Amino acid sequence: NLALALAANDSSKAIGLLDVDVYGPSVPKMMNLKGNPELSQSNLMRPLLNYGIACMSMGFLVEETAPVIWRGLMVMSAIEKLLRQVDWGQLDYLVVDMPPGTGDVQLSVSQNIPISGAVIVSTPQDVALMDAHKGAEMFRKVHVPVLGLVQNMSVFQCPKCKHKTHIFGADGARKLARALGLDVLGDVPLHLNIREASDTGQPIVFSQPESDEAKAYLRIAVEVVRRLPPHPE
Amino acid sequence: MEEVPHDCPGADSAQAGRGASCQGCPNQRLCASGAGATPDPAIEEIKEKMKTVKHKILVLSGKGGVGKSTFSAHLAHGLAEDENTQVHQSGSGWSPVYVEDNLGVMSVGFLLSSPDDAVIWRGPKKNGMIKQFLRDVDWGEVDYLIVDTPPGTSDEHLSVVQYLTAAHIDGAVIITTPQ
């Protein structure tokens, strides 16, 4: 949704989406893409395109149900391939979807490419925030600027009676952001439409751009761009 | 805690003991001699240690954020409510932290100097930690050992299964949301 929002906010920009969650790649399903990447003349993998976004994922390189049971070293070389052997062409923004944790993948990505900034997504729940805190700490250690936090699944509104419930707690991410001196880039509600849209391969920013939920992502994309360091020409 | 270099290629890799990052590692000569290719003696040691643990159950998911740890904690508490289950402490090795009389917990979280510290480790270092949790913790007489795993299908999962090969895992419970 962030990738689509960046594209929607400025149609002159070229956007790529790289899914480096090698164990649980979700981008193929969510972007309704399937198949093995073709190779270019120079033997680079061509990203698969949908909704105007160039996508690459481990999910295109393995069978949908095949587990990737790899130790760290093999993961590192797969990440290397996904980063360096893809024919991205000229992109304005490359959104990199990371797996959970602070391990091999995070280290490989941050050590191999110059990252403009990191967005940390968390639910407001204590145990999730503790992990988000660790993520922020890790990025600090590897000198990657943290652009801010996104408070995901912030609130649930009953479709019948409209009563709002903060299932994962209220505003935990804001408290963490304050403690870490970070900004909250925005809140995304826990909404059936968001999940359903992604499960059917039509993320909500594409399929229901006028909805409140899509607007939450569009606003966050604006905040992300505002905080990016100027591109060295 | 055993120290492993950041870029350790792994004791069983072809590069064991020969890589640039192997210089200065206390295990370098051992690895270079090909000792890594032989079965890890820890597996037998863990088998012995695990003789007092009746049932070992892994909790997995694949995806993150689906509720594995919540489930593991509740399962452990639920099993502990059966008063016939017992845990003893015999005083050698690391002691689990007892949250109930008969419910002991071990976690890397207890070993950090601050709960906010990030554990930014590559695979080989994580494997060393898991080996120590299995071999060096004095679990004593335990009816059920619940093993909470991280998301994914990687080092941690392979290591747990590998180190418990001789000790026998009863089974795995897989948690998911309906999404």
Spell out which residues of chain B touch residue A124, defining contact as CB-CB under 8 Å: none
Label residue B7 by pLDDT band (50, 70, 90).
low
Same domain for B56 and B87?
yes
| Average pLDDT score over chain A | 93
Structure-token pair, residue A12: 């002159």
Same domain, B32 and B118: no
Mark out chain A residues that contact chain B at CB-CB < 8 A: 23-24, 67-73, 75, 99-104, 106-107, 123, 127-128, 130, 133-135, 137-138, 141-142, 195, 199
Q: Are B4 and B19 in contact (CB under 8 A)?
A: no
* pLDDT at position B140 over 90: no
Task: Answer whether B124 touches A (CB < 8 Å).
Answer: yes
Is B68 exposed, middle or buried (CB count within 10 Å of its CB: 0-12, 13-18, 19+)?
Answer: buried
Residue range A202-228, pLDDT digits in tens? 999 999 999 999 999 999 999 999 999
pLDDT of residue A228: 95
Q: pLDDT tens digit string along B84-96?
A: 443 333 456 788 8
Cα separation values, A223 from A88, A104, A115, A152, Å: 25, 29, 17, 15
pLDDT at A11 over 80: yes
Check: CB of residue A67 under 8 Å from CB of residue B60: no
- Angle (CA) A181-A101-B97 rounded to 5° is 95
Q: Is A53 exposed, middle or buried (0-12, 13-18, 19+ CB in 10 A)?
A: buried
Q: How many structural domains does chain B have?
A: 2
Q: Which residue has the higher pLDDT, B84 or A188?
A: A188
The residue with tokens 């160039």 is: A54
Say yes or no: B137 and B160 in one domain.
Answer: yes
Query: Helix B123-135 and helix A72-84: axis angle, to 10°?
Result: 160
Q: Do B126 and A103 touch (CB under 8 A)?
A: yes
Query: What is the rounded distance in angstroms from the CA atom of residue B179 to the CA atom of residue B175?
Result: 12
CA B166 to chain centre: 15
What local confidence, expressed as pLDDT, does residue A225 receive? 97
pLDDT at position B50, please?
92
Please tell me if residue B26 touches chain A, with a CB cutoff of 8 Å: no
User: What mean pLDDT value characterizes chain B?
Assistant: 80
- Specify the residue for token string 């995901």: A152
Average of per-residue pLDDT across B109-135: 84
Residues B122 and B168 in one domain: yes
Residue B140 sits in a domain whose CATH number is 3.40.50.300
Residue B102 pLDDT: 87
Whether B77 has its CB under 8 Å from any CB of chain A: the answer is: no
> Best residue in A20, A70, A71 to probe B by mutation, most B CBs within 10 Å?
A71
At A71, is the pLDDT very low, low, confident or very high (cuts 50, 70, 90)?
confident
Instruction: Clarify whether residues B69 and B132 are in a common domain.
Output: yes
Structure tokens at A121: 């997504």
pLDDT at residue B90, rounded to an integer: 41
B79 & B100 share domain = yes
Q: Do residues B57 and B121 share a domain?
A: yes
What pTM did the predictor assign?
A: 0.82
CA A84 to chain CA centroid, nearest Å:
19
pLDDT for residue B148 is more than 90: yes
Residues in A touching B122 (Cβ below 8 Å): 72, 103-104, 107
Are residues B49 and B26 part of one domain? no
Shared domain for B71 and B127, answered yes or no, is yes
B62 and A69 within 8 Å at the Cβ level: the answer is no
pLDDT bin (cut points 50, 70, 90) of residue B27 is low
CA angle A122/A65/A4 to nearest 5° reads 45
**Among A129-133, B40-44, B57-61, B78-82, where is mean pLDDT lowest?**
B78-82
The secondary element (H helix, E strand) that includes residue B131 is helix B123-135
Res B11: pLDDT: 65
pLDDT of residue B6: 57
Residue-number span of the structural domain to which B27 is assigned = 1-38
- Which residues are bridge partners to B172 per DSSP? B58
Contact: B116, A101; criterion CB under 8 Å: no
Are B10 and A71 contacting, i.e. CB atoms less than 8 angstroms apart?
Answer: yes
Q: B71, B120, B126: which to substitute to probe chain A, counting the most A Cβ within 10 Å?
A: B120
User: Within this chain, do residues B31 and B61 fall inside the same structural domain, yes or no?
Assistant: no
Query: CA-CA distance, A3 to B86, in Å (whole number)?
Result: 53
Q: pLDDT tens digits, residue range A119-144?
A: 999 999 988 998 999 999 999 999 99
Following DSSP, what letter does each residue of A79-94 receive, concatenated?
A: HHHHHHSB---S-SEE
Residue A102 pLDDT: 87
pLDDT above 70: percentage of residues in chain B: 80
Do B23 and B109 reside in the same domain of the chain? Answer: no
Partners of B153 on chain A (C-beta within 8 Å) are 23, 67-70
CA–CA separation, B131 and B163 (whole Å): 7
**pLDDT recorded at residue B1:** 38
Same domain, B46 and B27: no
pLDDT the model gives residue B89: 34
Q: Note whether A43 and A65 are within 8 A (CB).
A: no
Residue from A107, A103, A149 nearest A129 by CA: A149
Selection from A159, A231, A153, A162 nearest residue A195 by Cα: A153
Per-residue confidence (pLDDT) for residue B94, from 0 to 100: 80
Q: What is the pLDDT of residue B26?
A: 65
What's residue A32's pLDDT? 96
